[in-house]
Amino acid sequence: MYYAEQLTIYVTEGDRQGGKLLYQALIEEARQLGLAGVTVMRTAIGYGPQSPQIAVDWTMELAPQMIMILTVIDQPTAIAQYIPKLQALALSA
């Protein structure tokens, strides 16, 4: 039996790191580490502390604030190797 863990990461669509979108940098880092895969979902409607009004993706000024959800599923050791890279990218964003 294959034991796996799931890591879920939430970032806003407009977050940037090193000149590229943060979610893209996170995907590239996962690929370089050889993780099994990353699934990315983009929210269509939401609200939160930065956007107390309901934000919809078809409103141009609110679209960059929409949440990107990245899901990584792999063995616990692979996830553990990814977490420091994730933290470094997120803190420098």
Tens digits of per-residue pLDDT, 23-40?
A: 999 999 999 999 999 999
Rounded to whole angstroms, the Cα distance separating 2 from 36 reads 13
Predicted local confidence at residue 38, as pLDDT: 95
- Divide the 93 residues of the chain into consecutive groups of 10 and give the mean pLDDT of each group: 88 88 95 95 76 65 76 96 94 82
pLDDT mean across residues, the chain: 86
Q: Would you state the structure tokens that stand for residue 21, as one six-digit string?
A: 């979108």
CB 63 within 8 A of CB 57: yes
Predicted local confidence at residue 45, as pLDDT: 74
- Exposed e or buried b per residue across 23-56, where buried means at least 16 C-beta atoms within 10 angstroms of its C-beta: bebbbebbeeeebeebeeeebeeeeeeeeeeebe
Is the whole-model pTM more than 0.75? yes
CB 17 within 8 A of CB 85: no
Predicted local confidence at residue 86, as pLDDT: 94
Predicted local confidence at residue 26, as pLDDT: 96
Token pair 């919809």 is at which residue?
Answer: 56
Helix (H, G, I), strand (E, B) or coil at 7: strand
- Domains with residue ranges and CATH for the chain: 5-92 (3.30.70.120)
